[in-house]
Structure 1
């Protein structure tokens, strides 16, 4: 990548600000009670292009604020070149000379080689426990046909002892919705191993005959509320289950031991550190995963910060935490103050609840509420106990009912108003409900990759009118709603470059469609970066500690080889992570 000198007047503005920052930070840190020299920094990062994000937010239309390091003629420029860290906190932000003045023989000094340093990126909706499991499973992402998927499973079976489970994930329940697979070919090619293959977003699962038998799924098995066990013309299960029936297969798979679960979680978190993240919001944490997070936090082994959202599908877990109350570990690396609930299903599998029939299935409007495992009393109780709730809502009816529910709880328990409740996905929203997000103080927790991954079939599901309120990030922003961005991994690629590219362009990685899919909903480069930094800090009550680069903040940094503010969106896809720092500790270095 080429580097161009900045215009003179822009450089002078940067250099005029930097000494002031340096002076103020040195005044704050350089004087000891005895008048001696300040303690040296533990870590100095210099010779970088540092964007602090300490300037005011852009307008709702994405226009940079007056105080931003932006020039209408020359564009963006970085507002610092170096940072210094001591005891996990930022003690200096400014020029190279100012930061290097804080070093001594014990200081670790890293030359950033003009790479871009941002506040630590946070993925605000993840399933890292599933990612850890998936890293051990057969990846079917991008597989186009049932025959191709079965061939890949049969290949694994040839080297797996008979009787052992074979697990896979990633076939696309949205793209395959009109041609769902069944057990016949899978059972024929792999008869001696129980096989369970979860779909890309987890709203469908596909099994062979042996797995169905071990799960106890027969022609007489009733489908759980909000779920479907697909059956053939004779009444026999086909091997495919949807929505709330997926746990029937999941629960048959042997659970990992505590040591195995810890290893899975750690492996996944290191993958996230390699991707440049300094934190995750883990959505829907089950009891054994929660125990793993607590063990790892107690050992100070977590390589990045975990904001755990407890699973509201486990009432015993929720009741225990209502008694216990919100919690942050002593080292600050684990916080438990949120809950994940599900109101409806997914759009791809036609489980999202719509106000009117699906455009491609007359008489069908999805599943939701109590029929989808949403326990209103339980969720209301934990909101009243001081926990933030993030409710999965995809369809326009699901989003409306979720907003109604949050409103009703806040009216009954006013202290719940300040908890920054979230709608996870907010994927299809009626025009009449857009403004309610801001009015209720509800965060729209959205996933830019979903728009570019779903564009091939989403309009077929909802039609040309409702699609105007689907994946409508700009419309939500213009209405005053707070947003936060994430990947929803492992269902989508968790690369921040992919996420930034999706948010800025609304194009897939091949550049389609030209101009972007419903381009009026695109985000500016600054908004895209804030979606993973300042906005994620706000969504996780962490703005006092992170999200911007300033003296006193936690030393969480992401260093990348491309500049999302200045480089073309297409070049982001060629970016790489050079360094990830969490709490002043290097968690990944290229």
Structure 2
């Protein structure tokens, strides 16, 4: 089928979608869109709209558009330019991949992305990278974005005092990556292409957690044509005072098209599982229990966390706090409880048994990434041995009363909600047995967790919609990963259209 042109941003004219099947509704419906809203929903053939363009969906399924609740968009855009290290099963294999990439790269710094060393039997060393590139900077970025492996030339290039193994973790690494990224920003067309690709998977909005001046950068991108998505742009603690001075509040609209809003304060209180820096109550295997570092990294003290939350809350800025280890999650829940406020806990990968109920009683939202459970199941079985019944525990969080949102943490997992939905529903991938299937989410809940609680299409709601060739409620979990999206509409205008021309 020929793909019809996609309209630019602006006030869309009225449009009728005929013979649509709404999720959970047996009989086909007609849907009238007008002024960016769903104006009317009625039985098939009941809406008369002379002169209004019509698209016949021919029984396709019409549903609310999808959100990705956790994205690092620049990292997602630039991943294509980086050497793919995902196949590396050892440090030696990662070095071999980089060696092969050196002759074909003309970059000043040759960057690889996607290594996961938590199960490697050998360790990264700076000497191994120096041996293949003694004078050319090389930077390898972990798949979870929480550590980097550099050679000596890269250390000199960035003015870094590298450790013997060349590996930087957490705060030191995030600072180094920020310096690199500021010098290698993609052009607007690269961002627009990535946004269109997301729209082709039914995405209408993202929550942006890139550590940058999102309140300025994203309106500029929209003005330059990156207009296929709604964006909630976070603010990090180093820009919190500036945001308060400017009077920014969560939910403020920041651009003329109404696509960009000011989001939440992003606070990172610990590290990650693959980097073994998630802050846990038990030490990591093989490490000295008497050494505080054996339990992971506490990036922000509980006192500082409460201070940041209090300041943000007093100024109308809502919080989103990264917590992966169970000790980190306890500290975050304690802080919310102490202040009597609600918020979003990003990741919530390992939760202490007593903390599930507190997620619910405090009205917290767990923003989770189901594909991480598939990527990390073997790592969790090794490094969180004996605790994985409460790891990536989406059903336990829901049953305790927490609101669950699904996302990708792109580029850590692909920016594709259907992958997240499939992983949440099945806890399986690559024909493996389901991992802790008691934590599966029912498909209707997984869908609602990807659409901000909207399950069906109703009048007076925003016309952010997705047209599907198959019913996701009855599709096998593996089929959900590849579910074909026929069209995506943002405020009633097509951002992806594989339906053809109106009739």
Q: Give the structure 2 partner of residue 397 of structure 1.
A: 327
Match runs of 1:417-496 below 5 Å: 417=341, 420-464=342-386, 466-496=387-417
Q: Secondary structure at the match of 2:441?
A: coil
Q: Give the structure 2 partner of residue 204 of structure 1.
A: 147
Unpaired runs of 5+ residues, structure 1, are 1-39, 52-68, 70-76, 219-228, 232-236, 411-416, 536-545
Q: Give the structure 1 partner of residue 472 of structure 2.
A: 564
Q: 1:96 aligns with which of 44, 51, 57?
A: 44
Deviation at 1:445, TM superposition (A): 1.0
Q: Deviations along 1:317-345, whole A, 9 cap, x unmatched?
A: 21111122212134321110311110111
Bigger Rg, structure 1 or 2: 1
CA distance in 1, matches of 2:64, 2:27: 13
Alignment RMSD: 2.5
Instruction: Go from structure 1 to structure 2 and tell me whether the alpha carbon gap of 1:561 and 1:243 turns closer, same or farther (over 3 Å shift).
Output: same
Q: Give the structure 2 partner of residue 382 of structure 1.
A: 312
Q: Give the structure 1 partner of residue 287 of structure 2.
A: 361
Q: Give the structure 1 partner of residue 82 of structure 2.
A: 137
Does the alignment pair 1:180 with 2:103? no
Deviation at 1:531, TM superposition (A): 0.9
Match runs of 1:6-25 below 5 Å: none
Q: Which has the higher contact order (CA 8 A, sep 6+)?
A: 2
Does the alignment pair 1:249 with 2:171? no
Residues matched between the structures, number:
479
Does the alignment pair 1:507 with 2:464? no
**Residues 128 and 269 in structure 1, CA contact (< 8 A), matched pair in contact too:** no
Q: 1:584 aligns with which of 460, 467, 492?
A: 492
Q: Secondary structure at the match of 2:157?
A: helix
**Residues 65 and 204 in structure 2, CA contact (< 8 A), matched pair in contact too:** yes
Q: Deviations along 1:381-426, whole A, 9 cap, x unmatched?
A: 112211111100011110010111122233xxxxxx3xx4111011
Match runs of 1:15-54 below 5 Å: 42-51=14-23
Q: Secondary structure at the match of 1:431?
A: coil
Q: 1:551 aligns with which of 445, 450, 459?
A: 459
Q: Deviations along 1:111-142, whole A, 9 cap, x unmatched?
A: 32433221000011111121112232222223
CA distance in 2, matches of 1:173, 1:373: 33
Instruction: Go from structure 1 to structure 2 and tell me whether the alpha carbon gap of 1:356 and 1:173 turns closer, same or farther (over 3 Å shift).
Output: same
Instruction: Go from structure 1 to structure 2 and tell me whether the alpha carbon gap of 1:159 and 1:439 turns closer, same or farther (over 3 Å shift).
Output: same
Q: Give the structure 2 partner of residue 296 of structure 1.
A: 221
Q: Deviations along 1:406-450, whole A, 9 cap, x unmatched?
A: 22233xxxxxx3xx4111011111111111111111111111111
Q: Give the structure 2 partner of residue 118 of structure 1.
A: 63
State the TM-score, normalized to the length of structure 1: 0.76
Deviation at 1:290, TM superposition (A): 3.8
Q: Give the structure 2 partner of residue 406 of structure 1.
A: 336
Instruction: Go from structure 1 to structure 2 and tell me whether the alpha carbon gap of 1:366 and 1:372 turns closer, same or farther (over 3 Å shift).
Output: farther
State the TM-score, normalized to the length of structure 2: 0.88
CA distance in 2, matches of 1:133, 1:373: 36
Deviates more, 1:368-377 or 1:120-129: 368-377
Instruction: Go from structure 1 to structure 2 and tell me whether the alpha carbon gap of 1:525 and 1:367 turns closer, same or farther (over 3 Å shift).
Output: same
CA distance in 1, matches of 2:314, 2:117: 36
Instruction: Go from structure 1 to structure 2 and tell me whether the alpha carbon gap of 1:553 and 1:285 turns closer, same or farther (over 3 Å shift).
Output: farther
CA distance in 2, matches of 1:152, 1:373: 44
Q: Secondary structure at the match of 1:245?
A: helix
Deviates more, 1:151-160 or 1:84-93: 151-160
Deviation at 1:473, TM superposition (A): 1.4
